[in-house]
Amino acid sequence: MIEEKISGMDEITLLNGVLSAVPEPFFVYDEEGTYLDILGGMDRNKYHDARHLIGQRMHDVMNRKLADRLLRKIKLAIKTESLVTFEYAIDPKDIFRYEGQPGPSGMRWFEAHISPLAAAPGEKRKVVWIAFDITRLKNAFERLDQQSRQLREMARIDTLTGLLNRRSFYEMAYLEIERFRAEKRAGFSSGFFVMMMDLDHFKQINDNFGHYAGDTSLRHFSKTLKTCLRSNDVIGRLGGEEFAIIISGERINTAESLAERIRQTTEDTKITFQDLTISFTVSIGITQLGEKENDIIEALKRADQAMYRAKREGRNRICIFSEEKDGV
């Protein structure tokens, strides 16, 4: 019988012995954050020996901000007479006399379980605080979150050029229109312009030099766009050799000036591919967002019409949408 085996043993001594052997540490604090006792925590891969902290207050062994936060949790457990659980991070080097002791290094994450202990009338309240090291779990979640962010970014970006893909461009366009409308109501915005552009005779590059040469040309043109435009301009590859740009909060002469910079830079560029030299030009169409338009669809159609007029008129040029010349 178990009772016979422990007969004569001090139950408190036995309980302390059991708790001391537990891998996770048990901290006993009073309501002022004084370390009254520390049991367990024998796994040195996760925990330091904290017994030297007994008799000291939290504010004596760690920075004030962290100590204030931990003490609030102790007081909450006492006030509500209930279990309090939360997560917190500590770097062992920031705890008094932890550095140099056997145990882990670097930032560690813990999940605390704080339970109030019964007390006699007039006696200071106490809590027992069990700390579970969840660092590996937090790091695993962080890696998963990072991978998820990367996947979301990959879903937004055209993998060949690094620009927004068609879907993301449309989503960004909607947000830009919303922002433009708000700024215009406040009197801070001028115009909202949309450009469509298409590389001239691009099929000949693929036919004459191969698709790798075509891909190189598209990547180079994408870099040209990023170089010629501002950080707040929205650029997207809509497919093939078609690109679209949003210029918000500017006047038409600014949009024309940016388009001309793109056109001229593209014309002047020579790309070396293997032992070949490739050059090409671009045709650009520009239109302004209509007063009652709340999405980019119709503006893209008008810019597309103006772009194809640029091609009909000889390519390597810029055309601004005109109802008379481009009316759909």
> Parallel, antiparallel, or unpaired for β 242-250 and 191-199?
antiparallel
Region 115-124 average pLDDT:
89
Tell me the mean pLDDT in the region 53-68: 92
Beta carbons within 8 Å of 117's beta carbon, 6+ residues apart = 28, 125, 126, 127, 128
- Of the chain, the percentage scoring pLDDT greater than 90 comes to 60
Mean per-residue pLDDT, 40-54: 85
Q: Comparing 309 with 106, which gets the higher pLDDT?
A: 309
- Helices and strands, counts by H and E, the chain: 11, 12
Phi, psi of 27, rounded to the nearest 5 degrees: -105, 135
Catalytic residue among 241, 242, 267, 293: 241
pTM passes above 0.85? no
**pLDDT of amino acid 20:** 67
Q: Report, as an integer, the average pLDDT of 297-302.
A: 94
Say whether pLDDT at 326 is over 70.
yes
Q: Residue 287 and residue 274: Cα distance in Å, rounded?
A: 38
| Residue 24 predicted with pLDDT over 80 | yes
| 128 CB-near residues (< 8 Å, 6+ apart) | 26, 27, 28, 114, 115, 117
pLDDT average, residue stretch 248-276: 91
Q: Which domains does the chain show, CATH number per domain?
A: 2-141 (3.30.450.20), 157-326 (3.30.70.270)
Q: Is the pLDDT of residue 5 over 90?
A: no
Please tell me the predicted confidence (pLDDT) of residue 96: 77
Q: Three-state DSSP class for 74?
A: helix
Q: Where are the beta strands (DSSP E) in the chain?
A: 25-30, 35-40, 84-90, 108-117, 126-133, 191-199, 234-239, 242-250, 271-273, 276-278, 282-288, 318-320
pLDDT-based confidence at residue 1 (cuts at 50, 70, 90): very low
Cα–Cα distance, 234 to 220 (Å, whole number): 18
Statement: residue 210 has pLDDT above 70: yes
Q: Is 111 a catalytic residue?
A: no
Residue among 111, 129, 131, 133 nearest 31 (CA): 129
> In percent, how much of the chain has pLDDT > 70?
90
Question: Is it the case that residue 80 has pLDDT exceeding 50?
Answer: yes
Q: Is the pLDDT of residue 215 over 80?
A: yes
- 183: confidence class by pLDDT, cuts 50, 70, 90: confident
Residue 295 near residue 279, CB atoms below 8 Å: no
Residues in a beta bridge with 204: none
CA atoms within 13 A on the CB side of 249: 15
